[in-house]
């Protein structure tokens, strides 16, 4: 590839390091430079339009041209561009956002603590859980359980919860801390045993969790982290009854439940929260992404009053709650997040998701008839398709082939941006404002990409 020396692509290659990127390959191929957007579409520097089928990174819920969010940022920038929340200081947007969030939060959530990203929210949750257990006089109760194929960020602590070598361990010497454990992901399609019913699968996973807690010692297990729908790990939708049984076990052994709503929160599953969709009553909730429709970085750690009261007492004993971030609760980001929540209400966004989700799920499940698709799964406006070599045996392609990445590349040529995920899955997560007609166009382009990929794949005989 030959690039003009002053082109955007050449300048990017010369100076920018990209996350989740083969850097040597990037030097040869260069970036896809996105220069604009409108509704569910984004435009590259050549003027080509694409459906943003992953809403950026699961986050741009209101699309790429919501003027009310631009105006909210402008107003706050003019009024007060920055203040912080350290040492009891606050701002009007932070106060109003916390109040609004708690008003829609799943029970028994009563307090909000603001940070800048989902990863920060997870790390803060881990740190405060350890603080909480120390305050209760339980210094041994520090171990945390997550699921295989979880994605809870890639910071040093959060990376221990994210159970994928591709995301965390390869080349980074993780895991290092002996406080993290994992149980089986609730993917009945991939991990159900031969002859095992879905209900039996749920019972087995619940028993696995309980046996792990008993083996480690309940007095050492502090918390369980779970995404209502496992997003970046392959869009894993839990079977019926899974979270009911999990929660009973956690309550039995005094283990906190942390619901990671970074992807699922704010309508993605057809309700305000994944907790509402799956009847979860969490002790803590992490949220980000669709909190501001990704227009500005902001995230939150939400907590029950019972959890907060322990923190408050300990901060009185120690003199402070010794954790914070310079930009946590940034007033401009908070103003944009507050306006985002107001738009969800005034535009009836949750009701819109409920109205168009049946069409989305219908088109999604029709893909199971395609020779490359082993399972198509989803809820609300989030879905995933698992690419297989042999539908009868569920055999996958050799990992070196990167079959799902090949499908994604074919879809890009048809004007559809998607993302390959672990387990040879492809994630589908359009902006929440998508219409039924746009859903059909999205899946038409996805089917065209699958057909193109089929022609170059070494299928089973």
Cβ 377 vs Cβ 237: under 8 Å:
yes
Residue 300 placed within a domain:
yes
- Residue 171: its pLDDT value, please? 78
Cβ 337 vs Cβ 291: under 8 Å:
yes
Task: Please tell me whether residues 275 and 150 are part of one structural domain.
Answer: yes
Sheet containing strand 143-147, strands side by side = 109-115, 299-304, 284-287, 256-260, 221-226, 143-147, 180-183
Beta-bridge partner residues of 51: 41, 416
- Residue 173: its pLDDT value, please? 76
| pLDDT, mean of each 10-residue run, the chain (461 residues) | 85 96 94 98 97 98 98 98 97 98 98 98 98 98 97 91 67 80 97 98 98 98 98 97 98 98 98 98 98 98 98 98 97 98 98 98 98 98 97 94 96 98 96 98 98 89 60
Helix (H) or strand (E) run with residue 143 in it: strand 143-147
Task: Please tell me whether residues 138 and 261 are part of one structural domain.
Answer: yes
- Residue 4: its pLDDT value, please? 81
Task: Please tell me whether residues 259 and 216 are part of one structural domain.
Answer: yes
- Residue 164: its pLDDT value, please? 64
Per DSSP (E only), the strands in 6-99 are 34-38, 41-44, 49-52
Task: Please tell me whether residues 48 and 131 are part of one structural domain.
Answer: no
* CATH number for the domain harbouring residue 263: 3.40.640.10
Its pTM stands at 0.96
Q: Where are the alpha helices (DSSP H) in 177-238?
A: 188-191, 198-216
Residue 24 placed within a domain:
no
Task: Please tell me whether residues 113 and 51 are part of one structural domain.
Answer: no
Task: Please tell me whether residues 216 and 316 are part of one structural domain.
Answer: yes
Residue 2 placed within a domain:
no
Per DSSP (E only), the strands in 197-317 are 221-226, 256-260, 284-287, 299-304
Task: Mark which of 346, 365, 389 sits at the end of a domain.
Answer: 346
In angstroms, the Cα distances linking 98 to 16, 74, 170, 286 are 36, 21, 38, 13
Task: Please tell me whether residues 241 and 255 are part of one structural domain.
Answer: yes
Residue 25 placed within a domain:
no
Cβ 117 vs Cβ 155: under 8 Å:
no
Total number of domains constituting the chain? 2
Angle of helix 331-346 relative to helix 349-366, nearest 10 degrees, comes to: 80
- Count the Cβ atoms, other than its own, within 10 Å of residue 118: 28
In angstroms, the Cα distances linking 313 to 85, 134, 135, 140, 222 are 19, 12, 8, 20, 19
Task: Please tell me whether residues 340 and 352 are part of one structural domain.
Answer: no
Cα 241–Cα 106–Cα 211 angle in degrees, nearest 5: 40
- β-pairing, 143-147 vs 180-183, is parallel
Task: Please tell me whether residues 190 and 277 are part of one structural domain.
Answer: yes
Task: Please tell me whether residues 125 and 271 are part of one structural domain.
Answer: yes
- Domain hosting 179: range is 68-346
Q: What's the rounded Cα separation, in Å, for the pair 407 and 387?
A: 9
Task: Please tell me whether residues 130 and 150 are part of one structural domain.
Answer: yes
Task: Mark which of 317, 346, 375 sits at the end of a domain.
Answer: 346
Task: Mark which of 346, 377, 393 sits at the end of a domain.
Answer: 346
**Residues in CB range of 242: below 8 A, 6 or more apart:** 186, 202, 205, 206, 278
* CATH number for the domain harbouring residue 385: 3.90.1150.10
Residue 22 placed within a domain:
no
Task: Please tell me whether residues 335 and 369 are part of one structural domain.
Answer: no
- Residue 274: its pLDDT value, please? 98
Per DSSP (E only), the strands in 365-408 are 373-379, 382-387
- Residue 172: its pLDDT value, please? 79
């Amino acid at each position: 590839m030959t690039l003009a020396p002053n082109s955007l692509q050449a300048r990017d290659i010369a100076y920018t390091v990209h996350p989740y990127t083969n850097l040597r390959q990037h030097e040869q191929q260069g970036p896809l430079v996105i220069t604009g957007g409108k509704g569910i579409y984004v435009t590259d520097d050549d003027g080509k339009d694409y459906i943003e089928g992953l809403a950026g990174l699961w986050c741009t819920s209101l699309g790429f041209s919501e003027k009310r969010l631009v105006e909210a940022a402008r107003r706050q920038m003019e009024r007060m561009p920055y203040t912080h929340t350290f040492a009891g200081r606050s701002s009007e947007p932070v106060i109003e956002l916390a109040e609004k969030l708690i008003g829609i939060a799943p029970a028994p959530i009563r307090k909000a603590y603001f940070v800048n990203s989902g990863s920060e929210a997870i790390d803060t949750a881990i740190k405060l859980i350890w603080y909480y257990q120390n305050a209760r006089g339980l210094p041994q109760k520090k171990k945390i359980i997550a699921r295989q194929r979880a994605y809870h960020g890639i910071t040093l602590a959060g990376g221990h919860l994210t159970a994928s070598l591709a995301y965390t361990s390869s080349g980074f010497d993780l895991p290092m801390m002996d406080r993290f454990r994992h149980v089986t992901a609730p993917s009945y399609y991939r991990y159900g045993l031969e002859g095992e019913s879905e209900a039996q699968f749920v019972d087995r996973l619940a028993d696995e969790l309980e046996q792990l807690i008993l083996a480690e010692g309940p007095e050492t297990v502090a918390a369980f982290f779970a995404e209502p729908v496992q997003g970046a790990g392959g869009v894993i939708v839990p079977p019926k009854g899974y979270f009911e049984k999990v929660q009973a076990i956690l309550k039995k052994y005094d283990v906190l439940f942390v619901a990671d709503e970074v992807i699922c929160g704010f309508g993605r599953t057809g309700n305000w929260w994944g907790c509402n969709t799956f009847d979860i009553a969490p002790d803590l909730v992490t949220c980000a992404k669709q909190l501001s429709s990704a227009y500005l970085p902001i995230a939150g750690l939400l907590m029950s009053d019972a959890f907060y009261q322990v923190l408050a007492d300990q901060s009185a004993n120690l003199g402070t709650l010794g954790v914070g971030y310079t930009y946590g609760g940034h007033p401009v980001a908070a103003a944009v997040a507050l306006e985002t929540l107001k738009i969800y209400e005034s535009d009836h966004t949750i009701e819109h998701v409920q109205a168009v989700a049946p069409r989305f799920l219908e088109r999604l499940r029709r893909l199971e008839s395609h020779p490359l698709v082993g399972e198509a799964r989803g809820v609300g406006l989030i879905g995933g398709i698992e690419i297989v070599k042999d539908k009868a045996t569920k055999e996958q392609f050799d990992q070196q082939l990167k079959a799902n990445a090949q499908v994604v590349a074919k879809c890009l040529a048809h004007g559809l941006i998607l993302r390959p995920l672990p387990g040879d899955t492809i994630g589908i997560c359009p902006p929440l404002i998508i219409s039924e007609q746009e859903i059909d166009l999205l899946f038409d382009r996805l089917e065209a990409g699958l057909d193109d990929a089929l022609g170059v794949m070494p299928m089973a005989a």
